Each structure stands twice: as C-alpha cells, then as structure tokens.
Amino acid sequence: MPEGPEIRRAADALAAAVVGEPLTGVWFAFPELQPYETELTGQRIEKLETRGKALLTYFSNGRVLYTHNQLYGLWRIVDAGVMPDTKRDLRVRLETQHRAILLYSASDIVMLTPDALATHPFLQRIGPDVLDSAVTPEQVRARVLSQRFCRRRLSGLLLDQAFLAGLGNYLRAEILWQAALSPQHTAMTLDEGQLTALSDILLSLPRLSYHTRGTVDDNHHHGALFRFKVFDREGKPCERCGHPIVRTMLSSRPFFWCPHCQH
C-alpha cells in the first residue's frame, strides 16, 4: 500500500495536471456517485489535499471527493480523450480540456460536503499527519507518551493511523532503524534521549521521503536523500554495524531490522 509520502506526491502531480481548469467531463463507476456527474461538469478542481493515506479533491461548487487507494487503487494522468489500455477497473474520470485524471481499482470513494469532512469515520479516527508542517516533534513526543499509546509496542504503533497518519510498513522499518530501536519497545521502556530521537525521526524521515524518494542525485547537490537502510534488504550488511539485516513478521506485516544494533 502506498504510504503518506507517495500519496502526497501523487496529489501534487494530479493538482499540476488539472487544478483551476473547468471540467469538461466527469464520470463515476458507482451508481451512488453518478448523479454528481452533471453537477460537477463545468466546475473546477480547486485543490487536492491528503490526510494520511486518503485524498480529498475539492471542487468549486463546495463538493469534496474522498478517495482512499487502500491496497490496489491507482491514479493516472493522461491527455484529454485518451483511454489507457488496462485490465484495471476504472472508478473515476475527471477531465479538462487538456488533461484527465483517472482512478482505478479503488473501492473507498464517497462525495462529501465540507461540513461532512468533520464526521467522516476515517478522518475522525486518524491522528496528526506526519507531512503536516504544523505538527512538531514536541507534539509527537506527547502523543507517544499519552495514556492511549504509551504501552503499545512500537512495531504495531507505527502502523496505527490513529497514532500518526501517513506512516506504513517501509517507514516503520526505516524509522526504527534510524532511531536504533528494537520493535519490541514501548514508550515506557525508552530513556529521554531515545524518546527525543524517536519523536524527531517520526516526522523528519517521512518528510525526507516525500521530498526526495526516487530522486537520483549522485553529487548530492540537494542534501540528504531518502534511501532504504533495512526495508527489503534481508541478508545485506547493516550500514551502521555490518551485521546482516533480518526479515521477520510483526503485526502481520514483513519487518526488516538489524538485531545487532537496534536495541
């Protein structure tokens, strides 16, 4: 499943393609959404916003389209009039004079009003978004230490969108490696230095991934780049201590780590 940084980059690309242009064609696969096709034609997409792994598309008439890709959803950008040859099921097509954005395979799609955003079950349940620049390490630290979360093992906590929205499996592994922490820890077992480091990395690493993952920069002109240190690197030497990376299953998901230097 794409994680917060991937969803945010997708939203950026979708926005660059269609924001501000009148919609010349609107199509929905689901019958409950089809009444909106006529209403939205001629309107503009004003912005696309992410909340964790959910995407919100705001229209000029006040409607908001909520979509969640879950495991199989995929957005594509094409030229107007183009219909890609694919076996995926098309769910949404929003077209302007020049470009179109298409959502395939997703099933969690609903049309909302701005007021309804506050009562949407998923949006009510999720925690602060790690890509929200207003969220600080101090706020994350308080959340880690809260009664609700302080006794949860980090291996499960970092997958829980109610804790922090936008984290997922690869970020879980990379954050715990960067913090040099075993996945079995809880906040109650961490010392002050570990808590401070973890609270900072929970924000800084997802933000680095959003800004740089997939960027090729051999000369490092733009500073640090996000690279996998442990995720999907089973058997390869740990960059910190040289011991082999281990793969196991935690919270029903593959987990990669270095037992030698993650204490």
Question: Could you give the residue numbers annotated as active site?
Answer: 2-3, 53, 253
Contact criterion met (CB below 8 Å) for 135 and 203: yes
Q: Which residues contact 209 (CB under 8 A, 6 or more apart)?
A: 3, 5, 171, 174, 226
CA distance 124 to 111: 16
> Which parts of the chain fold into alpha helices (H)?
4-18, 36-40, 114-117, 121-125, 137-144, 154-157, 169-178, 192-212
DSSP state of 245: P
Q: Residue 168 class from Cβ within 10 Å (0-12 exposed, 13-18 middle, 19+ buried)?
A: buried
DSSP secondary structure, 85-135, as one string: --SSPEEEEEE-SSEEEEEES--EEEEE-HHHHTT-HHHHH---BTT-TT-
